[in-house]
Amino acid sequence: MHDDRSLVEARLKRVLDERIRPAVYPESVPLQVAVWNAPGEPVPVAEGLAASPGPIAVGDMWGAPWGTSWFTVTGTVPAEWAGRTVEAILDLGFDENMPGFQCEGLVYRPDGTPVKGLNPRNQWVRIGSPVEGGEAVRLHIEAASNPVILDYRPFRPTRLGDKETAGTEPQYTLARMDLAVFDETVWQLVLDLEVLGELMHELPVEGARRWDILRAVGHALDAIDLQDVNGSAAAARSRLEEVLSTPAAPSAHRISAVGHAHIDTAWLWPLRETVRKVARTTANMTALLEDEPDFIYTMSQAQQFAWIKEHRPEVYAKVKEAVAEGRFVPAGGMWVESDTNMPGSEAMARQFVHGKRFFLDEFGIENDEAWLPDTFGFAAGLPQIIKAAGSKWLLTQKISWSQTNKFPHHTFQWEGIDGTRIFTHFPPVDTYNCSMRGSEIAHAEKNFKDKGVATHSLAPTGWGDGGGGTTREMVAKAARMRSLEGSATVRWETPADFFSKAEAEYLNPPVWVGELYLELHRATLTSQAKTKQGNRRSESLLREAELWAATAAVRTGFPYPYEQLDRIWKTVLLHQFHDILPGSSIAWVHREAEKTYVALAGELDGIIDAAQRALAGDGSSTLAFNAAPHQRHGVPAGGAAVATGGDPARLIPREGGGFILDNGLLQVEIDGRGLIVSAYDIAAERETVAPGQAANLLQIHPDFPNMWDAWDVDEFYRNTVTDLTRADEVTPVAGEASAGVRVVRSFGDSKVTQLLTLAAGTKRLDIDTEVDWHETEKFLKASFPLDVHAERYASETQFGHFHRATHTNTSWEAAKFEACNHRFVHIEEPGWGVALVNDSTYGHDMTRTVRAADSGTTTTLRVSLLRAPRFPDPETDQGVHRFRHALVPGAAIGDAVREGFRINLPERRVAGGAEVAPLVTVDNDAVVVSAVKLADDASGDVVVRLYESHGGRARARLTPGFEVAAAVATDLLERPLADAPTPELADGAVKLSLRPFELVTLRLARSRA
């Protein structure tokens, strides 16, 4: 037989595009349209419906950037359409290739009832099926004219990312406002041909199934009368019945389709617009659930449910009804789909506490899965947190974006730093926006790495990022692939159904130990420094507020601010979303975040001050309150006392220029360039700085990645570097018990002022840095070349630390050229180490070289300070920034932990009359208390969370400073653990025995006698 395959395939494409798809709506009449443009921010629905609209016509421009227009469309169904299905086609000027990234709308009835959302892939509203003819139609559309930020020429700087700079020119052309007859037979034919045509392209040319489909498609096209598609569609469909009904092979890959719309809580739109995106999408999905009995939809992020509840109660009522039916499934159990690299220990725990508690309170549902399809890599401490929250599974997809190494599994056990393992799945479909195209389904099957031992994978199905969700076309395609020869089988299932089946069939999956590092988006550890600083500061203030409010409540009856702390926590958690904290959102988002963090700091400082004053009482002594988990300056952890000082440090002029700082423990030489050329540990007789090198060396690199400007730094940035060695000023600064040197440097259009200080009684050099930053597409780092030989180093992560290699033996290690730390980075060789601690930075890199002169090893740690990408915010990081770091020579890992807390939790001074004893004490510094608070249920119980911080086994006694009636081990939600032994309470203390990095939450019931 002659090969006519290309001929038939080309015929299918043209006939579908030019004749069959247009025949879905064979008849139409125009609707009348009027518009009212809201003068500022979005208005309440009642106000929009009551406004007086003015004239507008199809073809007219509308929509200033970030504006809201209320369209009113009216018309009458023609009498001759009686008995037929009629829909309104409402095209606001959509580009169908940009669902979620441009204008959108929510349709209302005149009484304010929401109908469904409008987006580029969902432009229809059902009027009736069948209609009687003559019906009056009146609909209102709340249309958002969101500008297109990520266009066909992506990553170009734009001022559209902030309403203050976006201008007022209309952006969209009103395209179509019609009533139309909907021919379902033709629509079904379109989907028959799309599914078969897409499948056909994925099958081997040598296989019989491809040719069976080709011949069936050709016969169907023969049956189409191109002058009467509607009259001949049924005949064409009949010629496809056999090829569509041939069942899949028993060995076919099994896909659990989960209706989904990954809605970024903020990204290329502000938070307020996400509220409306969620309403539009959920209105669409509840309507689709009513129409499609097999369909199941899932939505994560408790914050988004809370927004609908507050702002669109009519939509929320339908959501609750669908949730009760088990078809609208809350997923993930987190407040938002957060970044997981940068949130601190408690914040990461509270993401699950607040998310799971919302789903329990609202729906009576507890999630077993964590759902994070788009998060930019996963910290090694996360498995333990997931388990401590009462969950056991994790789903993500983003690791498939890695540039260098292909992850070897799709289903596996992920082991965290404490040994906890979480059953984890990466969908092989490689997208969280699956649209049920044949190419996607075929890719999932071909790509699946666990063939032979597993058969299941999951496909999150629906338009996402900016919302939209699953369409009726996707549901129809899935129905055809339920069992179709040559294709994977597709079933709508809940995440829990998928995970249960996958876990049951894969009894011994492979294990991946340590972080799930994304080999992409590494610069999100640095972009938008003020957002990151606001997050870190908020986390620290929340620790203090809970600690001192709980202490004051137990000791003095101080009213514990449950509701205020709950609200503040949720606001901080919201801003940890994976495009806010990473710094990859538009200018509007980060401008608002900065204001929000300032307001939260004011509130938290107020709580802390009121609680401390209640504790300090009357008196003229100056009490130092220490919120850190370790004693310092004679002040106990979690308590307050009169602070004591040590011998002052000395400031000595240095021969050849510069100064020497010496406090008897550490001697630091700062040369005439203002660089650290020596940091000598006196007791250990050990030099910190590598021979011939200088530490605290500021370095500038060009920073223009190939794409994803705010997200990415590409390795070639290292090829060009400028060392900032010229100083404008190097001057001594004397303190009461400290000595310091002030260094000022100018470069480009920017200026750096640093204060290097050595205090009495500490083996720590404090480095305070102020940068007035006005560079563009540059990367600023501070370099510390250390005379340390080590094959690995430690970075703090949630509830512990994680080791990474200093070498690049493999491509996996080489790819980690920018990595995340929390409060410290620590590097050591046996018997001696160095820590660098910080108050607000996260990104760093580590390299090693061997010196020719003495064959010694120089291990260079560089901390990332600032970037200046121009997309999506063209003014990223411009302005004044302040950072605090400290270099700690001779540090063991415990010193790194202690100094990391110290720099983030400075002492507070309050006038008062007596020492304040800690609410709880722990007798082992390796066991760190991460939170002290009152139980969320307002019972008055005290909750203490702690963990082993050194990476070894630890025994400790936790002694409450109050009478305890009972001690119970709980999960993160403060519920007793069914399988945990009752903590041993003896002589007023709880005895603890912890594994390396083990996390423990204790609930202490207070005696009421």
**And the tokens for 837?**
């601690």
Q: What are the backbone dihedrals phi and psi of residue 642, each rounded to the nearest 5 degrees, phi first? A: -70, 120
CA neighbor of 603 nearest in space, from 567, 557, 638: 567
716 CB-near residues (< 8 Å, 6+ apart): none
Cβ–Cβ under 8 Å, residues 420 and 384: yes
| Burial class of 326 by CB neighbour count within 10 A (0 to 12, 13 to 18, 19+) | exposed
Helices (H), 389-434: none
Amino acid, res. 573: L
Q: Is the peptide bond before 872 cis (omega within 30 degrees of 0)?
A: yes
Kind of pairing between the strands at 857-867 and 879-889: unpaired
In whole angstroms, give the CA distance from residue 187 to residue 471.
13
C-alpha dihedral, 286 to 292 to 294 to 300, nearest 10°: -20
Helices (H) and strands (E) in the chain, counts: 19, 53
In whole angstroms, give the CA distance from residue 902 to residue 629.
9
CA neighbor of 441 nearest in space, from 397, 493, 490: 490
Task: Identify the bridge partners of residue 82 per DSSP, sorted by sequence position.
Answer: none
In whole angstroms, give the CA distance from residue 56 to residue 162.
27
In whole angstroms, give the CA distance from residue 646 to residue 648.
6
Residue 119 is classified by DSSP as B
Please give the C-alpha separations between residue 237 and each of 192, 195, 200, in angstroms, as whole numbers: 8, 13, 17
Q: Is the peptide bond before 330 cis (omega within 30 degrees of 0)?
A: no
Catalytic residue among 183, 339, 374, 766: 374
| Burial class of 851 by CB neighbour count within 10 A (0 to 12, 13 to 18, 19+) | middle
535 CB-near residues (< 8 Å, 6+ apart): 342, 343, 347, 572, 575, 576, 581, 597
Cβ–Cβ under 8 Å, residues 448 and 488: no
**374 belongs to the catalytic site:** yes
Amino acid, res. 994: L
Q: What are the backbone dihedrals phi and psi of residue 753, each rounded to the nearest 5 degrees, phi first? A: -120, 125
Catalytic residues: 374
